[in-house]
Amino acid sequence: MFIKKLELLFLSIIVIAILILAKNYYDNYIYKNSDISDNFKKLIANKEKEVLILMQKNYGFSFKVHNFITDKFKGRLYGITAYKNGEIKIYLNKKVMKESMDYMVDNVIAHEYAHALIFKLGMRDVGKDGHSKEWQKACEKLGGLNCEQYVNSHDVVMGKLPF
């Protein structure tokens, strides 16, 4: 009798675990194969407006850069700003948005817009991967909370904690 109950308990745990795995797989599949949520779009648009206002205030002009949300990034890169043939584009990594949207909004958008601004001003510094002192000042003036060259994993993790 006891063994039968124990077998039933383990079987129940296995079924629940399989259901949880199936749900997680389905959720990831849906996220990967659909557009980002309207809430994410709104957060990005609001931050972009804030950055443009700060750009106007601090530099006397502003310009909007087309943002592309993509899942084509390799690794954990959050964003990149591309300058080609006089055109500036910002690419944001969809893969990391789901788990780090606050970091994306608070840091990455201003970070990438600072690159775009440096391109626009003709102050591109290839030697430092575009993360010069001028870039850092621009990032701060555009509202970036953490204007470092690369993502600060500690900030991402700490930003998820409830305290």
The whole-model pTM stands at 0.77
Beta-carbon contacts of 106 under 8 Å, excluding residues fewer than 6 positions away, are 47, 145, 146, 159
Rounded to the nearest angstrom, the gap between the alpha carbon of residue 81 and the centroid of all alpha carbons in its chain is 13
Q: Are residues 133 and 87 in the same domain?
A: yes
- Whether 85 and 100 map to the same domain: the answer is yes
148, two tokens: 């470092």
Let me know whether 19 and 91 are in one domain: no
Positions of the chain with pLDDT lower than 70, given as ranges: 125-128, 149-163
Whether residues 40 and 116 share a domain: the answer is yes
Do 92 and 107 reside in the same domain of the chain? yes
8 A C-beta contact, residue 151 and residue 78 = yes
C-alpha span between 129 and 67 (Å, rounded): 20
Residues 19 and 77 in one domain: no
pLDDT at 159: 47
Residue range(s) defining the domain that contains residue 27: 1-34
Name the helix (H) or strand (E) containing 44: helix 38-59
User: Domain holding 67: CATH number?
Assistant: 3.30.2010.10
Same domain membership, residue 100 and residue 73: yes
Query: Distance between CA 95 and CA 72 in Å, rounded?
Result: 9
Query: What's the confidence (pLDDT) of residue 162?
Result: 43
Cα distance between residue 98 and residue 75, in whole Å = 15
Same domain flag for 27 and 45: no
Tell whether 16 and 85 lie within a shared domain: no
DSSP 123-137: ---GGGTT--HHHHH
- 3-class secondary-structure state, position 70: strand
b/e burial code for range 105-121 (CB count within 10 A of at least 16 → b): bbbbbbbbbbbbbbbbe
Check if the beta carbon of residue 128 is closer than 8 Å to that of residue 136. no
If asked whether residues 142 and 73 sit together in one domain, one would say yes
pLDDT of residue 127: 60
